[in-house]
Structure formats: structure tokens, C-alpha cells
Copies of this chain bind each other. A is one copy, B any other.
Amino acid sequence: MKIRRIPGGVTAAKGFRASCCAAGIKYQGRTDMAMIAADVPCAVAGTFTSNLVKAAPVLWDMDVVYKQKQAQAVVVNAGIANAATGEAGMDLCRKSADCAAAELGIPASSVLLGSTGVIGPVIPLDRISCGITQLAASLSDTREAGTAASKAIMTTDTVNKEFAVAFDLPSADGSGTVTVHLGGMSKGSGMIHPNMCTMLGYITTDCAIDQSLLQHALSAVVKDTFNMITVDGDTSTNDTLLVLSSALAGNAPILEADESYSLFRDALYSVCRDLAVTMAGDGEGATHLIEMRVCNADTKENAQALARSVAGSSLVKAMVFGKDANCGRILCALGYAGPYFDPAVIELYMNGESDTICFYKDGRVQEFDEDRALKVMSEHDVRFTADMKMGTCEATAWGCDLTYDYVKINGDYRS
């Protein structure tokens, strides 16, 4: 196995420390701020929300990533999004970065910021400042510190999300190989829809890699992972995914799209996919993960559009919640997705752990055994496949069911 899953998250790679604290920004009785700090300046790459309305920390981070292309720390808070806050929100970003820079002894332009929570209010500066001081004082490179940070950025998430991998690359001195690490954490449960990363996600690596290749790998991987999950079709104002590289692993730096680059990109894909799928399954109120695989499509883009349409359909989501194999809805959601296909030739399947049921072919919904279908629909991960019979391209999208609890959570989120 070239890429090995290892325990941990953002502190798995060499040169990264993390911390968290309870700053009382909105939540009480829990941690609500996290910091990641690197021992050295890092190459940084990022993707951001496609929403025209971008929260202040998103605008701040875009500036750092696109202009500086390097960073050394990340400060994140949960509870208030610092979105739709105008100049006051940008001012808070500047002061937060100044504060972290002073505590860490780095330039303010090397500090990345992230916020998640309710749109509108401005975060009290004194709580952020006080939080940053605590965060800087408690940084640790232990696995536990990374895990605690992943918990501090949660909002309506029910589980924290962190994954890490290790893989081997040629060493810088040419004497053999070195082990490289890549790990990340993310939060996201509602206001999730594929259009640039769709949540807060932070990934660290000790792999030495050129910054433009780092951005290239991230942009490629996002399309197949974070952009393929949907909870409710709402693209947030705050979505941010960042990857920082400390280059401390001792590998021969990746400077071109060679074999080492492919391995790095595969490792990045592995962590991003696990984070993304876990987020989809932890969608607000969810009781099932929905996995929609489209195969034999004419183009990758069409396969993605078809898969996302089904995973995002309210009627499919409600049907999965009810364990009701009302499978015509899957055909319907493919039909309004946009790409052309021939309804007379495609085939649709539900895929259980040990059972596969074809429920549509030859232009008609097929008769199937309801007990077998109920068994498949009762699994936590409910999987469907559409065989488009047009080509060789495929894509998978992930979502979750639509439940009473989604309505409850979002009918009264502010209080």
C-alpha cells in the first residue's frame, strides 16, 4: 500500500502545532477557537466559496493565498461567520491577524483566518484577542492537540472530522526514501453544496512541493471530493479549504508533474475524500449517507452533474430517510440534471452490502422484491449506481437524507 492511513489530523505532519480554547464567542461551555501554527513559513494553496457574497475572512485569506502564496498560521472561530459585516468585519480580520502575528512573532500577512456560524453579527474583538493569546500559549504538536482543534471548529457537526496519511518519496539527499505526512481537519454540516470546497477545511503536509503544484493538486482534487458533496444546496459565504506545506519531511522537492507529484496528489485526494464523505454523512440531521455513482457517461463533467443532481434531490433525500424505494425519483433527478442521455437505454441500481437490485432498465421501472429493497435502504450508507451506456467516464457524489431534524436545526439556528 503506497498511501497508508495513519491516526491524527493537522499535527500529523512535521513542523505543525495546534491548539484550541473556549473564547465564548457565541457558544458557552465548549471550545470555539482553534489555531494551527507552523515552525517555518509554509507554501500555501487554497480554494474559496464561489458565492458572490464572501465573508471577511474569505477575502482576507484570498489575499494571502493569491498574493503572498505563503503563510505560517491559521486562526479559526466557530459561532459567528463574520459575513455581511462590511468594513467592521475587515477591520476585525486585520486586528485578529495583528494580534496572532504579535503572539507568534511572524508577519500579519502570514496569518490565515476562518470563521463559521451565523451571518450578520460582528465578533467582539476582545474575545478574539483574548482567545488568540490563549491559543498561542497552548500550541502542541501532539495528535491530541490536532484532534482538540478539529472539535473546536464544529458548529452543528455531530462528529469531528480528521484524517491523515503517510507515504514515501525519494529523499532530498538521494540516499533512499523518506516518509511524508499529510493530514487535515474540516467542519461542515449544513449550508453545504458543491461549488468550491463548501466548508472549512485545513490540511497540513511536510512534503516539499512547489507552491504552484500544490495549488494545482488542490484545485484538481477539490473537484472530485469537496465539490461532490451536498447537504442542502446552499453554497455558504465562508467556504474555505487551505493546505499548508512545511517542507520539513526531507523529500526531494516536487518541482514538476512527475511520479512523486502523482503520489502526493493521490494522498491529498485520499484525505480530502475522507473528510468530504464524512461531512456528507454528518449533514444536519442526517441518518443516512447517500452515495450516487454515475458510470459510463460521455464526459466527466456530465457524470458529475448527473451524480450531484441525484445526491441533492429533496425527494431522493426524503425517500432515503423513509427507507422507501420510490426509485422513479432517481430517474427524475437525472432527467432534470442537464446533460443529455437516453432514458430508454440507461440502467439504474441500488447497491447493498451484499445485494444489488436493478430497479430501472429498458425504459421502465422494474419490479423488485420490496423486502430486499428495504434491506438495502436500511443500511447506513445507501448507494445507487446509474449506468449511462454512453462512454467511459464516471463520478460519485455524496449527500445525506432529509430528516425532521434538518428542519428543526435550521428552523431555529440562531437561538
User: Is A327 touching B365 in the complex (CB atoms < 8 A)?
Assistant: no
CA distance A53 to B331 in the complex (A): 7
Q: Is residue A341 contacting chain B, with contact meaning CB distance below 8 A?
A: yes
When C-beta atoms are compared, the residue in chain B nearest to A337 turns out to be: B52
User: Is B340 touching A52 in the complex (CB atoms < 8 A)?
Assistant: yes
User: Is B332 touching A119 in the complex (CB atoms < 8 A)?
Assistant: yes
Residue among A322, A341, A403 with most chain B CB within 10 A? A322
Residues of chain A in range 377-407 having any CB-CB distance to chain B below 8 Å: 402-404, 406-407
Residues in B with CB closer than 8 Å to A72 are: none
Residues in B with CB closer than 8 Å to A336 are: 50-52, 193, 195, 234-235
Distance in angstroms from A315 CB to nearest chain B CB is 5
Residues in B with CB closer than 8 Å to A331 are: 53, 84, 119, 237
Q: Which of A9-17, A172-180, A356-364 participates in binding chain B?
A: A356-364
Q: Which of B52, B324, B327, B411 contacts A341 (CB 8 A)?
A: B52
Q: Is residue A410 contacting chain B, with contact meaning CB distance below 8 A?
A: yes
CA distance A85 to B233 in the complex (A): 30
Distance in angstroms from A321 CB to nearest chain B CB is 5
User: Is A314 touching B118 in the complex (CB atoms < 8 A)?
Assistant: no
Distance in angstroms from A267 CB to nearest chain B CB is 31
Q: Is residue A110 contacting chain B, with contact meaning CB distance below 8 A?
A: no
Q: Which of B86, B312, B313 contacts A344 (CB 8 A)?
A: B86
A328 and B365 in contact, given A53-B343, A233-B313 (Cβ under 8 angstroms): no
Q: Which of B363, B410, B415 contacts A84 (CB 8 A)?
A: B363
Residues in B with CB closer than 8 Å to A334 are: 52-53
**Contact mask for chain A residues 194-218; partner B; CB cutoff 8 A; 1 contact, 0 none:** 0100000000000000000000000
Q: Is residue A335 contacting chain B, with contact meaning CB distance below 8 A?
A: yes
Copies in the complex: 2
**Contact mask for chain A residues 82-105; partner B; CB cutoff 8 A; 1 contact, 0 none:** 011111110000000000000000
Distance in angstroms from A129 CB to nearest chain B CB is 21
Q: Is residue A121 contacting chain B, with contact meaning CB distance below 8 A?
A: yes
- Known: A84-B331, A235-B332, A314-B314; 10 extra A-B contacts, CB below 8 A, are A52-B336, A85-B364, A86-B363, A86-B364, A191-B315, A232-B315, A237-B328, A318-B407, A318-B409, A404-B407
Residues in B with CB closer than 8 Å to A318 are: 406-407, 409-411
User: Is B315 touching A190 in the complex (CB atoms < 8 A)?
Assistant: yes
Q: Which of B322, B327, B413 contacts A324 (CB 8 A)?
A: B413
Q: Is residue A303 contacting chain B, with contact meaning CB distance below 8 A?
A: no
User: Is B333 touching A234 in the complex (CB atoms < 8 A)?
Assistant: yes
User: Is A121 touching B365 in the complex (CB atoms < 8 A)?
Assistant: yes
Q: Which of B121, B191, B343, B365 contacts A332 (CB 8 A)?
A: B191
CA distance A206 to B48 in the complex (A): 56
User: Is A363 touching B412 in the complex (CB atoms < 8 A)?
Assistant: no
Q: Which of B120, B237, B402 contacts A335 (CB 8 A)?
A: B237
When C-beta atoms are compared, the residue in chain B nearest to A408 turns out to be: B404
User: Is B410 touching A322 in the complex (CB atoms < 8 A)?
Assistant: yes
Distance in angstroms from A121 CB to nearest chain B CB is 7
Distance in angstroms from A175 CB to nearest chain B CB is 51
CA distance A364 to B329 in the complex (A): 40
